[in-house]
Amino acid sequence: MFDRTIDEILLRLGTTVLHLAHPDVTRTDDEKEALVKSVNQFAVCAKGSSDERVTSLLAELEAAVNLHLPGRLQ
């Protein structure tokens, strides 16, 4: 039950971060740096999840950031 609740929180958080990954939303250097940090932190949490939705969302986030900010993720 606890793991499922964490996964649901991660999905909500990741979806929000994904919206921020759009270049029309994240424009300034500070916003871009915050986005990279958010995706890196999401990745740390997501790697502990066995939920395929979380894993898929992580891949989508990383692809979105790498498309617009190549080489910025750890």
The pLDDT > 90 percentage for the chain reads 95
Average per-residue pLDDT in the chain?
Answer: 94
* Interval 31-58 mean pLDDT: 96
**Which pLDDT band, with edges at 50, 70 and 90, does 53 fall under?**
very high
Contact assessment for residue 10 and residue 54, using Cβ atoms and an 8 Å cutoff: yes
Dihedral of the alpha carbons of 39, 44, 46, 50, in degrees to the nearest 10: 160
HSE-up of residue 58 (Cα within 13 Å, Cβ side): 19
pLDDT of the residue at 23: 92
CA-to-CA distance for 11 and 38, rounded, in angstroms?
Answer: 13
